[in-house]
Amino acid sequence: MTTPLWCLLGFASWSMVLVIAVGAARVARVLAGKQSANSFPSGQQHGGDRYWRLNRAHMNAVENLPIFGAIVVTGHLAGFARGAFATAAIVVVCARVAQSLIHIASNTNTAVNLRFTAYCAQLGACAYMIVTIVTSSRA
């Protein structure tokens, strides 16, 4: 399996780690008798601040996974598996993990700026991957 495909698998795995963490937090609150199982309304803020940031970090990862997946699969089918394309895929996954961890850890101005920087790194790497695919298909 190529590096970009491993990165796609890593991104998906990270999204699963985040949803398992959300589920564990919910189960713990229900088992402790602090909340009922049906007290987690979809799309509405609930729970403590850190829990909600974890929830949002998961949702954001899941929202971005199909975009990254489409880029990686298209690149894979076009024959891009090494070099700068593979490095860009690694950047995306590392920046995604960093963004999620920063999001969960804090909501200070510094944390928000760092989180945005990590997101920009992902966007830049994805844009590079897209341009690589498009420009090579014209040649």
- Taking the C-alpha atoms of residue 105 and residue 102, their distance in angstroms, rounded to an integer, is 5
Model pLDDT, residue 43: 81
All domains in the chain, ordered by first residue: 3-138 (1.20.120.550)
- Between CA 74 and CA 84 the distance in angstroms is 15
Q: Give residue 80's region: left, alpha or beta (phi > 0; psi -120 to 50).
A: beta
Quickly tell me which residue has 């190529």 as its tokens.
2
Write the pLDDT tens digit of every residue in 34-50: 999 998 888 888 888 99
Whether pTM exceeds 0.85: yes
